[in-house]
Amino acid sequence: MPVTQSSRAAAFDFRHRERTPAAHPQPCGAGKPHSTAPRPSGHKPPALRLRRPVFGRAACVLALCLGGGLLQAADLSVSVKGVASDSGQVMLALYADEAEFLKSAHQSQRTVASARDAQGSLRFVFKDLPPGRYAVSGFHDRNGNGELDSNLFGVPSEPLGFSNGATSFFGPPGFAKAAITVGSVDQHIDIPLQ
Partner 1 sequence: MQTQPSHALSDPNTVPGCARRRFLQAFAGLGLGAIAGLHVQPSTAAPSSHAWHSSYAPWDAPGFAGAIETPALAMTGKAPEALRGSFYRNGPARFGRSGQRLSHWFDGDGMVQRFRIDGAQVAHQGRMLDTAKSRAEAQQGRFLYSGFGSQVANARPMLRPDDANPANINLLSMDGGRRLYALWEAGSALQIDPDSLQTLGPKAWSSETAGAPFSAHPREARDGSIWNFGYLPASGRLLIYHIGADGRVLRHRMIQVPQADMVHDFAITERHLVFLLQPLLADPQADGQANLLAAFSWDSGAPLLACVVSKADFSQRWVELPNAGLFHIGNAWEEGNTLRLGFVQHDNLLGALRDFDVSAGHTQRETLGTRWTELALQPSTGRHQVLSSGRSGLRGVEFPRHDQRRTGQASELTVLLQRSAAWQAATVLGFDRVLVLDGERQQHFDYGGGFLVEEHVLVPHPQHSDERAGWVLGTAYHWPSETTVLSVFAAGHVGDGPLAQWRLPYGLPLGLHGQFVAA
Binding region for partner 1 (CB under 8 A): 1, 3-9, 11-12, 151-157, 160, 167-171, 173-174, 177, 194
CB of 111 to partner 1, least distance (A): 23
Residues paired with residue 182 on neighbouring β-strands, in sequence order = 132
Residues paired with residue 64 on neighbouring β-strands, in sequence order = 48
CB of 172 to partner 1, least distance (A): 9
Complex with partner 1: residue 62 or 160, whichever CB lies closer:
160
Complex with partner 1: residue 4 or 41, whichever CB lies closer:
4
Phi-psi region of 135 (alpha: psi -120 to 50; beta: other; left: phi over 0): beta
Complex with partner 1: residue 128 or 141, whichever CB lies closer:
141
CB of 141 to partner 1, least distance (A): 16
CB of 153 to partner 1, least distance (A): 5
Closest CA relative to residue 36, chosen from 134, 135, 141: 141
Complex with partner 1: residue 25 or 161, whichever CB lies closer:
161
CB of 128 to partner 1, least distance (A): 31
Question: CA-to-CA distance for 188 and 194, rounded, in angstroms?
Answer: 19
User: Where do the DSSP E strands lie in 96-162?
Assistant: 107-112, 122-129, 132-141, 160-162
Complex with partner 1: residue 88 or 156, whichever CB lies closer:
156
Contact 126, 108 (CB under 8 A): no
Q: Phi and psi dihedrals of 185, rounded to 5?
A: -115, 140
